């Protein structure tokens, strides 16, 4: 069974006090042995504080992106090495907002992924289609292209162990409209099949694939019942602890699939 992974992407929300209170509550939740791994991804300025607050709890702390270069004259940027240096263990790469608002291409995302892995960070690799692409019947082509750019030349075992994939249809990000369970399962199954073709069945079965896009307590159980949905990358519903906790507690894995424990 793949252990579900629920990650909260806090984006440019929450302040120091709110994060301190949230992390204290997370420590208590972690002690209750919830059915899912948990992670939080605060703004850069709060990564170190969150890492200190959650040290030893088992809750993952990561950054929302990283620069592909290890150091240099890149004003305003943060390297993967710096992310790790302040106590984080993970980083998100390729989020749809980065692709859309910051113009990150598949090549840019791959460069950030490579930098993160080289620095010793694990990664959540985001991919997904826009509404126009879905309406044009291009979903499979788009997500396959994005995943192929990230997996080319990689080795299956380390990739499956260190990279979580997050399918996040762009049309469902922050809109309140989520993909149906059937839509999510269709794309997740396609991604797992592509991983099997690239790395073999064992590595594909071990890879965690999250769904992201208007996830909330009211739809997480239906999503988790899908055989290839292994958790969620949560945006707005991760900003209030009660809703995040409700999602985590409902994320018990369905009796399907083999893979990482």
Catalogue the active-site residues.
95, 168
What is d(CA 251, CA 143) in angstroms, rounded to the nearest whole number? Answer: 25
What is d(CA 223, CA 235) in angstroms, rounded to the nearest whole number? Answer: 16
Contact 210, 126 (CB under 8 A): no
Element housing 150 (H / E): helix 139-151
Relative to beta strand 5-9, strand 37-41 is parallel
Q: Which two tokens stand for residue 57?
A: 């709890």
What is d(CA 154, CA 129) in angstroms, rounded to the nearest whole number? Answer: 23
Q: Which two tokens stand for residue 214?
A: 């208007």
Q: Which of 94, 21, 17, 90 is nearest to 59 (CA)?
A: 90
Contact 253, 35 (CB under 8 A): yes
DSSP code of 102?
Answer: S
| Integer CA distances (angstroms), 201 to 97, 112, 156, 180, 204, in order | 31, 26, 10, 26, 5
DSSP code of 238?
Answer: G
């Amino acid at each position: 069974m793949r252990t579900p992974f629920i990650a909260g992407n806090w984006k440019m929300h929450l302040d120091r006090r709110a994060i301190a209170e949230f992390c204290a509550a997370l420590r208590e939740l972690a002690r209750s042995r919830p059915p899912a791994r948990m992670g939080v991804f605060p703004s850069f300025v709060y990564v170190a504080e969150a890492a200190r607050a959650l040290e030893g709890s088992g809750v993952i702390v990561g950054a929302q992106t990283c620069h592909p270069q290890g150091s240099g004259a890149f004003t305003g940027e943060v390297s993967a090495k710096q992310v790790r240096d302040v106590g984080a263990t993970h980083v998100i790469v390729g989020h749809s907002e980065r692709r859309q608002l910051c113009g990150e291409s598949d090549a840019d995302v791959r460069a950030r992924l490579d930098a993160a892995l080289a620095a010793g960070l694990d990664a959540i690799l985001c991919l997904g289609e826009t509404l126009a692409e879905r309406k044009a019947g291009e979903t499979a082509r788009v997500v396959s292209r994005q995943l192929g750019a990230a997996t080319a030349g990689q080795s299956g075992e380390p990739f499956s162990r260190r990279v979580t994939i997050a399918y996040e249809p762009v049309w469902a990000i922050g809109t309140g409209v989520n993909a149906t369970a059937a839509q999510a399962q269709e794309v997740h199954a396609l991604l797992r099949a592509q991983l099997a073709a690239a790395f073999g069945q064992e590595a594909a079965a071990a890879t965690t694939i999250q769904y992201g896009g208007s996830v909330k307590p009211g739809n997480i159980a239906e999503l988790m019942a899908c055989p290839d949905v292994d958790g969620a990358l949560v945006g707005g519903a991760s900003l209030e602890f009660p809703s995040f906790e409700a999602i985590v507690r409902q994320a018990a894995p369905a009796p399907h699939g083999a893979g990482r424990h």
